[in-house]
Amino acid sequence: ETPIDAEKIRRDFPILETIIHGDKRLVYLDNAATTQRPQAVIQAVVDAYEKHYANVHRGIHWLSEQSTNLYEEARVRVQQFLGASSPHEIIFTTGATASINLVARSWGDVNVKAGDEILLTEMEHHSNIVPWQQLAERTGATIKWIPITETMQLDLASLEHLLSSRTKLVAITAVSNVLGTINPVAEIVKRAHAYGAIVLVDAAQSAPHEATDVQQWNADFVAFSGHKMMGPSGVGILYGRESLLEAMPPFMGGGSMIRRVTLEGFEPADLPDKFEAGTPPIVPALGLRAAIDYLEQVGLSRVAAHERVLTRYAHQRMSQLDSVTLIGSDPEIKSGIVTFVMNDVHAHDVASRLDSVGVAIRAGHHCAMPLHKKLGLVATNRASFYLYNTLEEVDALVAGLAQIHEWRATHRGRRRT
C-alpha cells in the first residue's frame, strides 16, 4: 500500500489555501472538532441544489423522484460503508449527538427502569454522557463508570466487575476525542452481551479515520457525524440493529414518520422512515455520500497509516520540548489526536498564540469535563490530524510552541527583575 501524498490531496481542499493574519498559511490541526471538505463534496452539494433538489418521499413529480432516489442511494452507500446488513438499519440524523439522543429517548424510555444500570466510560464526550444522565433522571436508573488506567486505556478488569444482570446498556466511544485511545469495541460488546446488555458505540472519532464494520463489532447502535469525515455539517448517522429499531417507538413525531394519522392517533411508518420525522437533511446526506466516496477512494487504511506517521512525529518532536506535557495514549496505538498542556501557560493562551502564527488547534475541555477532572486538569490543548495534514504542519506547530516557550521565558525573566 502506497503512503498518502498529502501535498497532492491538499489540492482537493480549497480552504487549505487560505492565508490568514496577512501572510500566514493556515495550518489546520483541529480535525477532531470538524474536518474540511474536498471539492468533490462541495460540488456534490452544489449539484444537489442546481440539479436534483426537491423534497423527498412526497412528490409524485420527476424532481422529487430524483431527489428521493439520490437520498436513498446515499443511505445504501452508508450501509456499505458500515457493513450493515440492510439500509433499514441506517437512520439519517443531524449528527452523532442527535443519534445518541434518539436512542436514549426511544430505546431508553421503553427499556430502562429504576434500579437498572448504564455503563459509560470516563473518557466519553458529553454527547455520550448527558443523554444518559437525562435518561437516568427520567427513569431512576444508575450510571456507572468504566475507569481509565494510568496508560489511558479502558480498565477492562473493572468492566468485568461492573457488568451484571442490572446492566441494560453500555455506551462507549470507539476512539477518545481527547486521549486518542482506540477502545477494543468488539471485546467490550462481547462481554456486555454476555450479560444481556445492549451496546451503543460513539464512532464520531473513529468512523472518519479507520474502517468501520458493525458486524465485526457486533454493536447494537453506532452513532457518528458527517462533518468530522469531510461531509457537510447537519447530517449524522444512527446505525441500529434492525430487530431493535423495529421494536422501538418513534422518537420525534411529524410528517414522513407515519403510515396513517387519524383524529384518534397515528400508526408509525416502517423503517427507516419511522425515525426520520419531517424533512430530513437531504442535501447534507448527498454530500456525505460524496465524502464516503472520497474517503474510500483514498482508502481508510492509508488514512490511518498517514495519521500514525504524523502522530508519531508530533510525539517525538513535542516530547523534546521541556515545557510541553503530552497527555494520552501511546502514539503507536492511538488515533491522530495529540493532547498536551504547556507549563505555566493557559491552554487558551497557547491556542491564541498559535493562531497568531496560523496554526489552528483546540483549547478547553473538549466536551469531556469528567475526563479532565479525572486527569486533574481544567483545560488542555489538542492538535488533531487528518489525511491532508503534513509533517511540515507538525513542524509549524512545534515551532509555534517553541516560540511560546521563549516568550514565556523572557516574560518571566522580565517579571523577576
Binding site for ligand PMP (CB under 6 A): 32, 95-97, 125, 127-128, 173, 177, 202, 204-205, 225, 367
Residue showing cell 445504501 = 76
Q: How far apart are CA 69 and CA 1, in angstroms?
A: 35
Give me the residues paired with residue 290 across strands.
none
Q: Contact at 8 Å (CB) between 359 and 381?
A: no
Q: Which cell goes with 303?
A: 488514512
Beta carbon nearer to ligand PMP, 154 or 404: 154
Beta carbon nearer to ligand PMP, 205 or 311: 205
Give me the residues paired with residue 181 across strands.
334
Residue showing cell 487558551 = 348
Q: Output the smallest distance, CB 336 to ligand PMP, in A.
A: 13
Going through 242-394 in order, the beta strands assigned E by DSSP cover: 258-261, 266-268, 324-327, 337-342, 359-360, 362-364, 380-384
Beta carbon nearer to ligand PMP, 240 or 400: 240
Q: Output the smallest distance, CB 206 to ligand PMP, in A.
A: 8
Of 186, 244, 321, 367, which residue is the catalytic one? 367
Beta carbon nearer to ligand PMP, 136 or 237: 237
Q: Contact at 8 Å (CB) between 63 and 49?
A: no
Q: Output the smallest distance, CB 231 to ligand PMP, in A.
A: 11
Q: Output the smallest distance, CB 280 to ligand PMP, in A.
A: 16
Q: Output the smallest distance, CB 6 to ligand PMP, in A.
A: 23
Per the annotation, the verdict on 367 as an active-site residue is yes
Q: How far apart are CA 183 and CA 61, in angstroms?
A: 48
Q: Which residues contact 126 (CB under 8 A, 6 or more apart)?
A: 367, 368, 369
Q: In degrees rounded to 5, what are phi and psi of residue 143?
A: -100, 135
Beta carbon nearer to ligand PMP, 162 or 178: 178
CA atoms within 13 A on the CB side of 372: 21
Residues marked active site are found at 367
